Amino acid sequence: MGMRRLFCRDRMVVLVGFFVVSTISATIAGELSKVPGATTGSLQLRPAAEHRWRPIFRGIVHTTAETSTPVPMKVNALRVHLKEPGIEFLVTPSNGETPLDTTGTRTSTFLRTYKCQVAVNASPFAPVVQKEQTPEDVLGLSMSRGDRYSPANDTYGTLLIAKDNKAWVATPPINTKKAYNAVGGFRLLLKDGKNVATNDVRHPRTAAGVSQDGRFLYLIVIDGREKGYSEGATTAETAEWMGSFGAWNALNLDGGGSSAMVIADGHGGAKVLNRPIDLGIPGKERVVANHLGIFAKPLQETAK
């Protein structure tokens, strides 16, 4: 989904009948969320207060969920407390005078290179390549710690994060005056708690959203393109998932073979939480143009 052609509107498909109520199982136990979420619809997902979250870093918790109807979907979700001390963000920096905007890397490489604790793929881009360190063009707004190196798309939305970690989702015209980091995506999924997405083609998805009170940033990845395992989601279904976790406003980021969620393994390496699929190969990460990385403190500080 990194190609320019994906800026064209996806062909709409009519969904016949209505979806059977899905059974969702959150597979990782831990802290019980108390965050109010947006109203969900056809998937009948559990509300935000019933998802169970496991702390993985200070200010960051993780959960997984799945459904078997209308098709199998497996989801990884992160909730980031934006006021937690030590939380910082990094978007892939510009490549400077090198052609195009950035040098592409896999999400796990990005995380290891910058020593982030969490990273996800972010904006659409071109071209799709197989070799890391190949120049790539970000399609939409990209700002890394105050350096705005790619302009906003005049149709699609953007996730913006201020220096004090205030986060918000905006639509054109995009005002970047207060932004410190920003990644462009596609259309909004949720606007003021309402599902504004469409029942389009199912793909792997990456999405970002913010809670109504602005305390939390949500990041999710839905695996797809694997028959019987996880077949992906429409943007409307992605919006429902975002609402079920607690997002109030949310944006569809780049998806398809680009979708990846990675965390630090505590030993200088990276652990991929989802099952990316590039070139039809399960577990294969795609080289992408930019990422959203998060720095956080460990749950227990090491004694000096």
Segment (H or E) for 237:
helix 235-245
Q: pLDDT tens digits for 126-163? A: 999 999 999 999 999 999 999 999 999 999 999 999 99
Q: Above pLDDT 90, what percent of the chain?
A: 81
Side-chain half-sphere CA neighbours of 128 within 13 A:
16
Q: Give the per-residue pLDDT at 209.
A: 98
173 cis-preceded (ω within 30 degrees of 0): yes
Q: pLDDT tens digits for 173-199? A: 999 999 999 999 999 999 999 999 999
Residue 3: pLDDT over 90: no
Q: Which two tokens stand for residue 150?
A: 């790619």
The Cα 273–Cα 21 span in angstroms is 26
264 C-beta neighbours (distance < 10 Å), count: 22
The Cα 78–Cα 172 span in angstroms is 27
> Looking at the DSSP assignment, which residues form a beta bridge with residue 137?
126
Q: Which two tokens stand for residue 179?
A: 């932004």
